[in-house]
Structure 1
């Protein structure tokens, strides 16, 4: 009989499986469109397959980042260094996946613009615009669930911390890192020296023994902590919910069906609007790490402002200028203001 697999071997194996699933789904999605001609349309059958692969890709990517941060030695050391609780980790990973999605969107936009904008402005099209609409639509529905997990974990930590503070004296309360706006979980800089890294859960070295369990790491959240239902979260965050449903639903319909195959160049610029998103995500990550006063935070902020202004403010007037040149009319005669 084979000996049972050790915890470290199991974690390495799971990390490899998650990585293989993530890479495999992306490769499968690429393979679905690799043989298409640039002007081909995406069929419903192929599109549904792309959406399914998109769900698996974004969810497995989030799980991969989360598992690496919570259940590996390197991840535990980073959490200790920056004093991150599980809610911080999930929030950072949510932003990392958002940055990856934005990068894919920008690649799509660049391909579409290089193809469609240099040919027939209105009628030229590239299959990438529809293909990524199918694939990327899954992200917005995944992200609703991901943000729900972040919300539950952060609320759980806040309530657990509040409960624990009632039974602790004031001189035992852990101090947070200067400049950080997130709750911190490790009690003292030497917390890991007295505790094995394998024993450090998302609540820090001292794991609660009772209470509901964290969906990400499986640790108990502590007594007095109630779980938050998904529908309660939806009622709590209606604006975010509407935004994601609108973009993932109506935006998808516009790109795939309602535009009638026209204006592909315009939608290429719409995809490029995501260029500022990685910098927005990095800003949130640096804030979670307590690095608001760092040079990296300043430079990232400048890059965020520059890309936001160019890609989300100037791009639309520029597209309108391109259209006015195509139809041979002055700019303000093309779009009369009455």
Structure 2
């Protein structure tokens, strides 16, 4: 799978650079930071589509939720490793350009301000990316003993909400935050996030229970403790992010026109 790892290492940064050049052409008045931001969001959207599609293929192919195999379950994990590294750097670039816009010219001060901004505003996302690379990826590739591809596919489908989240941010960036499209997209974000990131976990427990004839409320007591711990650790930030999305949705549908959020 090293070929897949190499392909991802070329694909995501390369796509970002191509999109950034296209953004300069499409929006001559955009700053370097704005072009970088919209390019990164499009890359995130595409990755979300690829991951969700892979997840759906795996889920529909695995009849036995524990032992059936599909090559995408490990193949896409290798592909997502360079994306997580790239996306972490893209998050840093977002804050680097913000500090540049504030005309912090000293190199060390610029780096320090950008890192402080990243740690302050995107700390949970940074922890999320780090946990995926250092915990979830090793488990998915080496520690699960080639079982549970169905559940790996389920976790991939969580990315289905990502394109809509990114679209909402792009609409704000181009000052369409008061458009009907933005409001409709906000509703889709709520629905897809709730289904694919919150209801996903009851769905997985229910699928396991149906196969082995166990009521869903007894499933946590019939699977290894570490599976429950991992699921709870993944689900906890999803609940927090869903709460933040609900707050933003409330402002979107009840408040006056919003200001541009970079």
Name the TM-score class by shorter chain: 0.7 to 0.9
**How far did residue 149 of structure 1 move?**
2.1
CA RMSD of aligned residues (A): 2.0
Distance (whole Å) between structure 2 residues aligned to residue 54 and residue 290 of structure 1: 32
**How far did residue 154 of structure 1 move?**
2.1
Does the alignment pair 1:55 with 2:9?
yes
Q: Which residue of 1 aligns with 2:19?
A: 65
Distance 1:110 1:273, change over 3 A: same
- For normalisation by structure 1, the TM-score amounts to 0.60
Q: Which residue of 2 aligns with 1:121?
A: 65
**How far did residue 235 of structure 1 move?**
5.1
Distance (whole Å) between structure 2 residues aligned to residue 320 and residue 244 of structure 1: 25
- For normalisation by structure 2, the TM-score amounts to 0.77
Distance 1:48 1:292, change over 3 A: same
Q: Which residue of 2 aligns with 1:151?
A: 95
**How far did residue 248 of structure 1 move?**
2.5
Distance (whole Å) between structure 1 residues aligned to residue 145 and residue 221 of structure 2: 25
**How far did residue 336 of structure 1 move?**
4.8
1:238-253 alignment runs, 5 A limit: 238=119, 239=123, 240-253=125-138
* Matched residue count: 217
1:1-338 alignment runs, 5 A limit: 47-70=1-24, 72=25, 75=26, 78-80=27-29, 84-116=30-62, 118=63, 120-159=64-103, 225-227=105-107, 233-234=114-115, 236-238=117-119, 239=123, 240-336=125-221
Higher helix share: 2
**How far did residue 321 of structure 1 move?**
0.9
**How far did residue 330 of structure 1 move?**
1.9
The structure with the larger Rg is: 1
- Superimposed CA distance per residue, residues 287-320 of structure 1 (whole angstroms, 9 cap, x where no aligned partner): 1111110011001101111101111111210111
**How far did residue 262 of structure 1 move?**
1.3
- Superimposed CA distance per residue, residues 9-68 of structure 1 (whole angstroms, 9 cap, x where no aligned partner): xxxxxxxxxxxxxxxxxxxxxxxxxxxxxxxxxxxxxx2221121011000000001111
Structure 1: state its 5+ residue gaps: 1-46, 160-223
**How far did residue 241 of structure 1 move?**
2.9
Distance (whole Å) between structure 2 residues aligned to residue 230 and residue 266 of structure 1: 40
- Superimposed CA distance per residue, residues 134-153 of structure 1 (whole angstroms, 9 cap, x where no aligned partner): 01111010112222222222
Q: Which moved more, 1:251-260 or 1:124-133?
A: 251-260
- Superimposed CA distance per residue, residues 159-181 of structure 1 (whole angstroms, 9 cap, x where no aligned partner): 2xxxxxxxxxxxxxxxxxxxxxx
**Is the Cα contact below 8 Å between 1:291 and 1:297 reproduced in 2?**
yes
